[in-house]
C-alpha cells in the first residue's frame, strides 16, 4: 500500500508540474518574436531583451506586464475580431513565462536557443527607397508643459511615386509621446517653419496639410511599422513636404531631436484608396485640477 501511494503522488506531481521551462527552449522563442522587435539596440524601447541575462534580470516585471496584458502593447479590446498586425500573447505563452519565473528562471541548454532575429540595419522594414529627415535638430527645453511642434520635411522625388509603407524613426524616443504626419502639397508649412528662430513651428493645427490619400500616418511608443501593399499606396508628387507634428515631453534637461522617415515605394499605382474615419469627441471638457472626472455617453 505504501508503494502505491508513493507512486500515485509522484504521478500526479508529474502531470501537474511537468518539466521546468527554460529560457533557451521555452521563453526565448516568445521573447524574440513578440518583444525584441522593440526591445533591441536602436529600437524604440528603453532596453534590449536579446540575452538570457537581460531577460532574467527583468523576469518578474515581464511576467507581470504580460499577465496584465500591458505588454505587448495592443489597445483594441479583445474579442471583437482580428486585426492586421495584431499583437498579443496566448494564455499558454503567458503561463509559460510565469512558470519559468516561479521555477527559478533556468537558462537551459545552449543547443535549444533559437537564432537571434536579424534586421537589415536599423530599419525594421529593410533599407528604405527614400530617407528624409528634419532640416535641423530641434532642442526641447528642460521643463515646462508639453510641446506640440511641427516640422516641414521635404520629400525629394523627381517624378510622381507611390508610397506603400512609411517607417518613422524619432531619433530621441524618450521625449516623444506620439507623432502625427500629414502631406503638404501647398508649401505652407515650409514657409512657416523656423519663423520664430527655431526649427519648426508651434501648434496643433495642420493648416493646409492633409492626410496621405486616406492613410493615417502616425507613431506611438511601441508601434512597429506596417509593410503595406502596392494596391493601397499613396501618391507622392514632386515638391511635396511631410508635415511632422511631434508631441514632446520635457525630461528635466534640454534634449535634442532630429527625427527621420523612411519611405518604401510601390512598383505601380494603387488599385484602391482607403477612407479614413476618425471616431472621437471634441466636446469633452475636464475642469482643471479635477480628479476621477467621469464622462458618460
pLDDT in the model for residue 161: 98
Give per-residue pLDDT as tens, 82-92.
Answer: 887 788 999 99
Q: Which domains does the chain have, with CATH numbers?
A: 11-77+85-112 (no CATH), 130-265 (2.60.120)
Q: Which residue has the higher pLDDT, 202 or 118?
A: 202
pLDDT 10s digits, 152-196: 999 999 999 999 999 999 999 889 999 999 999 999 999 999 999
**Residue 12 confidence (pLDDT) above 90:** no
Mean pLDDT of all residues in the chain? 89
Query: Mean pLDDT across the stretch 203-229?
Result: 90
Statement: residue 262 has pLDDT above 60: yes
Q: What is the pLDDT of residue 6?
A: 35
Q: Which residues contact 254 (CB under 8 A, 6 or more apart)?
A: 139, 140, 141, 142
Give the DSSP per-residue string, 61-90.
HHHHHHHTT-SS---SPTTS---TT-----
In this prediction, residue 202 carries a pLDDT of 96
Long-range contact list for 59-68, CB < 8 A, 24+ apart?
59/100, 59/101, 59/105, 60/101, 62/31, 62/35, 62/97, 62/101, 63/97, 63/98, 63/101, 66/93, 66/94, 66/97, 67/94, 67/98
Q: Return the higher-pLDDT residue of 208 and 2.
A: 208
pLDDT over 50 (residue 4): no
Mean pLDDT of 18-45: 90
pLDDT above 90 as % of the chain: 68
Query: Which residues make Cβ contacts (< 8 Å) with residue 22, sequence separation at least 6?
Result: 100, 106, 107, 108, 109, 112
Residue 144: the pLDDT is 96
Residue 59 has pLDDT above 50, yes or no: yes
Q: What are phi and psi of 81, to 5 degrees?
A: 100, 175
Amino acid at each position: 500500500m505504501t508503494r502505491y501511494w508513493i507512486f500515485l503522488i509522484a504521478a500526479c506531481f508529474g502531470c501537474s508540474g511537468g518539466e521546468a521551462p527554460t529560457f533557451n527552449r521555452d521563453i526565448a522563442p516568445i521573447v524574440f518574436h513578440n518583444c525584441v522587435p522593440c526591445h533591441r539596440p536602436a529600437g524604440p524601447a528603453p532596453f534590449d531583451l536579446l540575452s538570457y541575462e537581460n531577460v532574467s534580470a527583468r523576469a518578474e516585471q515581464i511576467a507581470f506586464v504580460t499577465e496584465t496584458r500591458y505588454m505587448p502593447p495592443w489597445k483594441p479590446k479583445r474579442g471583437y475580431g482580428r486585426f492586421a498586425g495584431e499583437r498579443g500573447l496566448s494564455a499558454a505563452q503567458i503561463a509559460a513565462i510565469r512558470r519559468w519565473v516561479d521555477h527559478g528562471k533556468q537558462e537551459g541548454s545552449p543547443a535549444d536557443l533559437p537564432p537571434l532575429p536579424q534586421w537589415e540595419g536599423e530599419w525594421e522594414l529593410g533599407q528604405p527607397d527614400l530617407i528624409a529627415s528634419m532640416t535641423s535638430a530641434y532642442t526641447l527645453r528642460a521643463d515646462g508643459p508639453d510641446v506640440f511642434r511641427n516640422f516641414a520635411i521635404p520629400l525629394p522625388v523627381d517624378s510622381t511615386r507611390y508610397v506603400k509603407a512609411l517607417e518613422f524613426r524619432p531619433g530621441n524616443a524618450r521625449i516623444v509621446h506620439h507623432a502625427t504626419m500629414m502631406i503638404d502639397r501647398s508649401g505652407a508649412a515650409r514657409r512657416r517653419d523656423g519663423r520664430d528662430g527655431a526649427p519648426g513651428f508651434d501648434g496643433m493645427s495642420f493648416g493646409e496639410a492633409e492626410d496621405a490619400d486616406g492613410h493615417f500616418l502616425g507613431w506611438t511608443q511601441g508601434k512597429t511599422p506596417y509593410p503595406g501593399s502596392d494596391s493601397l499606396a499613396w501618391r507622392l508628387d514632386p515638391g511635396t513636404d511631410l508635415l511632422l507634428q511631434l508631441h514632446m515631453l520635457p525630461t528635466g534637461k534640454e534634449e535634442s531631436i532630429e527625427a527621420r522617415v523612411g519611405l518604401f515605394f510601390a512598383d505601380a499605382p494603387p488599385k484602391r484608396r482607403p477612407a479614413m474615419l476618425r471616431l472621437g469627441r471634441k466636446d469633452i471638457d475636464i475642469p482643471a485640477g479635477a480628479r476621477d472626472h467621469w464622462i458618460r455617453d
